[in-house]
Structure 1
Amino acid sequence: MNVENLIYIVEDEVKLARLMEDYLMAAGYQTQTFYDGQMAFNAIKQQAPSLILLDLMLPGMDGIEVAKHTREFSNVPIIMVTAKVEEVDRLLGLEIGADDYVCKPYSPKEVVARVKAILRRAGQQPVIDVQPSSELIQVDEAKMIVQISNEKLDLTALEFQMFLVMFNEPGRIYSRQQLMDAIYNDHRVVSDRTIDSHIKKLRKKIAATYSDHDLIQSVYGVGYKYEPNQ
């Protein structure tokens, strides 16, 4: 089985899981389905797939725990499936670090479209951009890698996209809405708090490698910017 084309479906509703299998396979993906969170997590530890479609409510280990423990060792893209709209900020924010979410009931076609969008970003043509003002920072867009002083940052797909948007235009101030529009191409409604959570986590990861300067800066009352120079 080719892991580059493999989707893990973690869903305890058998009919829904099989429906997603059919749609994803029709779109050209290979699938493996788990009806139990613990079994899914054990499989992820053995072989991380291209993407995980992860239900929130699961027997054995719930989706939040699966995602949290997976993030301890892998940046595999995770799309959370939830019937609890009030959980969305938590799923996408600091606690979980999911890359996307869908709410039940959902359209299988919409889920396939989101899977394609995330994997398409990961499979873009290689572009290596070294910021002229600082050779310390390198970005490989195809591999979704940011390196500072040759040390790779452990970023999720959403964190990488957010960094890339600001990195490409140093000094430009982006409002929260502009960042939302840039990283969520389906124009969903996402709260300012979710964007702030992503920024906070991104800053923490950068600071762990490069603490000399705050590369992502807040502009009070406006938004955020990437500033390579002090």
Structure 2
Amino acid sequence: MNTVLCIEDDREIGQFLKEDLEKKGYKIIWLTSSHGYEAYINKIDLVVLDIMIPGLDGFTIGHRMKEIHPEVPILLLTARTALEDKLKGLGFADDYVTKPFHPDELQARIEVLLRRFDKVEMKKIEIQHLKIDLQEKRIIDNRTKEEVLLTDKQFKIFFLLIQHPNQILTKEQIYENVWKQPYIEGDKTLMVHIRHLRQKIENSPNDPEILETIRGIGYRIKQ
């Protein structure tokens, strides 16, 4: 489980971020000011930092963090849209999100930074009758103790979804991530691969309990 330090003085936003990110599998340390952040900096994988916080502002704290701990990615939260503020922030921050933002966008940017800084924790998880080793990228059927063998595309689809448990990924997101080309509305390629994937991982492919279809949107893995 990756640990995220969130420094946000707005209690409504801070509480929302904490609850939303915890539901998505992160451990969250939430501070309402920069005071005392040094006690946590060696225990975290990423910082979500608001610019406008009491005491020293986010620019000052961000620069200090990056000088001492360059290995910790910083995602800046800003209500400022001026180009000079964004450029100033990117002098130390690794990415930024402008308020208001969608929580799924924030999570996506967090995931990108964790991968960039090699901080994605690979682990073993179990879903229904499947035991999944994310490090070795193997799937074992606990009923038969045999490995579930997937094609290259099935593998990429499944492991993309498994890295975003309970989160809906659109058809466009999945297709463009796996095939590395734009999705064309009406293309049945992804649907065919999903059907074949279900035949290998579901108890009842026609009544899936693991890989859900969210009609009109996309798919998600239930965990």
TM-score (norm 2): 0.49
Structure ID, larger Rg = 2
